[in-house]
Structure 1
């Protein structure tokens, strides 16, 4: 067995240290602003999405670099955020279970980017609104932490002090805002794996409306940078923490779950209006931002500086899905320019295994159940309702961008399958993937599942619903909530 490269790095970094702080008095160092949208796929105007207006992000793309192939390392908030704030795969540092009750300590050599920026003289803040201070902003890291931030707005910094700020934008996280456009839900084009039904359309339209709310907040913070005269000396990095909150998206490793927008603006340093097709990972954000500030990224970081001269893009990106709430699973994937290979380590757990969160928040989950029972799904849609997952999945993303045809059993692709299987296995070993390490004993999981079930039951009762409500009756409730009148017969 190969020796873990990461363990070797950790040991060396713990002994020699990795940070050389920049001169804190150098007020010419750039400010760094991360604008993080919660649960956002690439459904933006500047990415070609129709029926959504994102003028402020379109402006940012015109003034900066729009990356077309940026990917999260996890399709769920806490795991992805754990990775991109540390520049480390969440599976390497034990931060992979979503909503864990046992927050691990970070290894000695691993420090969040916030700490590294602070040690270099930066003011570090976490904001929940673009133009002022009010309340605490989302953190959601799967490791023990305290005093990660100096404040909740960059106005708290000393005169001339550069800042590293994160602006946390809730939208388009569910629950969505209600779409007020009378016709958008009729005009949108749905991916083929989604049933073409009024529920799906209304839900998708609400997602796009939520994106527009998010875009307006981006506009507010960009205007603030201009008004304060600091836009020209601020590196702005906009991205989604993972993909869209829909089926085949959030909590799954398909493109909808891990493909995210990434737009970077750095006046005077990056060519405005550039479209960059190189593959990058969100774990690259921390080292890239540190390097831009003149801070040497720790050698142990698994992320790389994607703005560095000589960076040609990643040959492959990797992502992992582990327990999400009450849905236990272990899935890994590797994505190259053309192919994606997915390994389901627990194939006995179906795609639609019981999840209180998704049952509460995803109306299309209930719709799929009802239409499947009626035999009203297309073969592509019905695949999601299978009793088990395949052990391996392989998709040609050029020929099949929606990942509808699994090629794992196709002899024509046997060589590609072997190559990517080996590549993923090597990554698991070399990064010291801790996905096989038990999160807890049987009693731990029994208590955890009971806690999640109790939350689900309380949430259903707050809606005036019986937690044991049938899918048919629950679907009727969703129809009422989404303003659907009459009999929404399947449109497949």
Structure 2
């Protein structure tokens, strides 16, 4: 690119434009990842070598949470910096409010190109999400294949007129779990999450799921290799994010940590210390404000999220006091609204329709035990096994209030809602949660209804 500089009336010289030296940003996002399976987060079933390399070379977050454990709300929150009740996509497959702006506007305004490749169902309308859509990764999350190529991604990142922020949105490990090599895993030797009922069907499906986690890890490796091949690895921030939990009972579509707790790794050569860890609480709504901060922009008034750049640069150990959660079950199943709040240790969950059983058609088949699903296998075992019965009952029949000490009870099995020793903390968290709902104009159970924008 050439700039013309006028020196006096007749003297014009040509000079190369000064190159923008602000960092590029690549964000690699998983789809329905149970972040506990990543080996740098303690996973024992596979070694996620490429994801782990980002942790070794950067900063690992131990307390990042999605506010709603499903794809559309999480991604809308990521892009807009708003909680679901305010951006409008507070149910899965519900559109955002069409008057909003997003990170596509905010980074473009400060001189960045903003692109996206892969899963793109949260990029409409274009007026809200003005991304450059790049060919390369599979855009449809339920595709039986995820063939991808990096040539178009390579072309995009090599354009040197402006720095870029590129979202690489993998569809792995989203169901139907038809991708990847299952022969790597022995079903009998897998370590299952403690909240699952151990059945042969569960283990067979889990093998398929883990094969897609392996595929995801390979994709992360391919992207980081591309940065090295193009010489961009030294001035590119790489951020990996896990989205919400897996499509197994108790994960996605719930506000237990198996669904709401995520993962994030940030590699920033020369700025972030290798193998560093932070316990700072952050949410997906905080991502866009942080990207704006990195790019040198000014804070956007009215956003719910806030920049955690001081945490990234080791200038602060905290980012926010509380993480909030919202769940609306329609159209995935019957109305079952849930709200939650947590600090760095304690978590409060309010089940706003606890008088009826929880039902999610994507996970469950009612009481039909003849269907060959993970849930039906749990029900069959629950007829003869007390532990299996306890786990299935926990999932279906929930109390109005749940309160957990997540430090000592990370599986959220011991409900302390009636414990006299915790009543002050419960009162504090409930007050904060209700104030947050009021600020968000969240009407609670009234929101969990059908909407015309649902397909």
TM-score (norm 2): 0.82
Counterpart for residue 248 of structure 2:
246
Report the Cα offset of residue 35 of structure 1: 0.5
Once the two structures are superposed, what CA deviation does each residue of 1:270-308 show, in whole Å capped at 9, x if it has no partner?
111111122211111111111111112303222121122
Q: Judging changes above 3 Å, is the alpha-carbon distance between structure 1 residues 214 and 358 closer, same or farther for their aligned structure 2 residues?
A: farther
Q: Judging changes above 3 Å, is the alpha-carbon distance between structure 1 residues 364 and 439 closer, same or farther for their aligned structure 2 residues?
A: closer
Is 1:399 aligned with 2:408? yes
Counterpart for residue 15 of structure 1:
none
5+ residue gaps in structure 1? 1-23, 129-136, 452-492
Report the Cα offset of residue 159 of structure 1: 3.1
Counterpart for residue 336 of structure 1:
343
Q: Judging changes above 3 Å, is the alpha-carbon distance between structure 1 residues 250 and 40 closer, same or farther for their aligned structure 2 residues?
A: same
Choose the corresponding residue for 1:74, options 56, 61, 68: 68
How many pairs align? 409
Report the Cα offset of residue 82 of structure 1: 0.8
In the alignment, the residues of structure 2 paired with residue 276 and residue 168 of structure 1 have an alpha-carbon distance, to the nearest angstrom, of 24
Choose the corresponding residue for 1:345, options 352, 374, 381: 352
Counterpart for residue 221 of structure 2:
219
Write out aligned runs for 1:59-458 (5 A). Answer: 59-100=53-94, 103-107=95-99, 110-128=100-118, 137-140=119-122, 145=127, 148-152=130-134, 153=153, 155-156=155-156, 158-176=159-177, 177=179, 180-181=182-183, 184-308=186-310, 309-310=315-316, 312-327=318-333, 328-351=335-358, 353-356=359-362, 359=365, 363-374=373-384, 377-378=387-388, 380-384=390-394, 386=396, 388-433=397-442, 435=444, 438=447
In the alignment, the residues of structure 2 paired with residue 201 and residue 367 of structure 1 have an alpha-carbon distance, to the nearest angstrom, of 11
Once the two structures are superposed, what CA deviation does each residue of 1:434-490 show, in whole Å capped at 9, x if it has no partner?
54555777xx68x97xx7xxxxxxxxxxxxxxxxxxxxxxxxxxxxxxxxxxxxxxx
Once the two structures are superposed, what CA deviation does each residue of 1:89-145 show, in whole Å capped at 9, x if it has no partner?
112232201123xx35245xx4210111122222221112xxxxxxxx423268774
Report the Cα offset of residue 253 of structure 1: 0.5
In the alignment, the residues of structure 2 paired with residue 293 and residue 299 of structure 1 have an alpha-carbon distance, to the nearest angstrom, of 17
Q: Judging changes above 3 Å, is the alpha-carbon distance between structure 1 residues 374 and 306 closer, same or farther for their aligned structure 2 residues?
A: same
In the alignment, the residues of structure 2 paired with residue 120 and residue 182 of structure 1 have an alpha-carbon distance, to the nearest angstrom, of 46
Report the Cα offset of residue 413 of structure 1: 2.1
Q: Judging changes above 3 Å, is the alpha-carbon distance between structure 1 residues 83 and 362 closer, same or farther for their aligned structure 2 residues?
A: farther
Once the two structures are superposed, what CA deviation does each residue of 1:369-389 show, in whole Å capped at 9, x if it has no partner?
323345554453133354x42
For the 8 Å contact 2:101–2:128, the answer to whether it is kept is: no
For the 8 Å contact 1:114–1:164, the answer to whether it is kept is: no
For the 8 Å contact 2:378–2:388, the answer to whether it is kept is: no
After alignment, is 394-403 or 404-413 more displaced?
Answer: 404-413
In the alignment, the residues of structure 2 paired with residue 33 and residue 57 of structure 1 have an alpha-carbon distance, to the nearest angstrom, of 14
After alignment, is 146-155 or 65-74 more displaced?
Answer: 146-155
Q: Judging changes above 3 Å, is the alpha-carbon distance between structure 1 residues 215 and 417 closer, same or farther for their aligned structure 2 residues?
A: same
Q: Judging changes above 3 Å, is the alpha-carbon distance between structure 1 residues 311 and 200 closer, same or farther for their aligned structure 2 residues?
A: same
In the alignment, the residues of structure 1 paired with residue 76 and residue 445 of structure 2 have an alpha-carbon distance, to the nearest angstrom, of 19
In the alignment, the residues of structure 1 paired with residue 253 and residue 228 of structure 2 have an alpha-carbon distance, to the nearest angstrom, of 37
For the 8 Å contact 1:126–1:166, the answer to whether it is kept is: yes
SS of structure 1 residue aligned to 2:238: strand
In the alignment, the residues of structure 1 paired with residue 77 and residue 105 of structure 2 have an alpha-carbon distance, to the nearest angstrom, of 15
For the 8 Å contact 1:40–1:241, the answer to whether it is kept is: yes
In the alignment, the residues of structure 2 paired with residue 37 and residue 306 of structure 1 have an alpha-carbon distance, to the nearest angstrom, of 21
In the alignment, the residues of structure 2 paired with residue 299 and residue 84 of structure 1 have an alpha-carbon distance, to the nearest angstrom, of 16
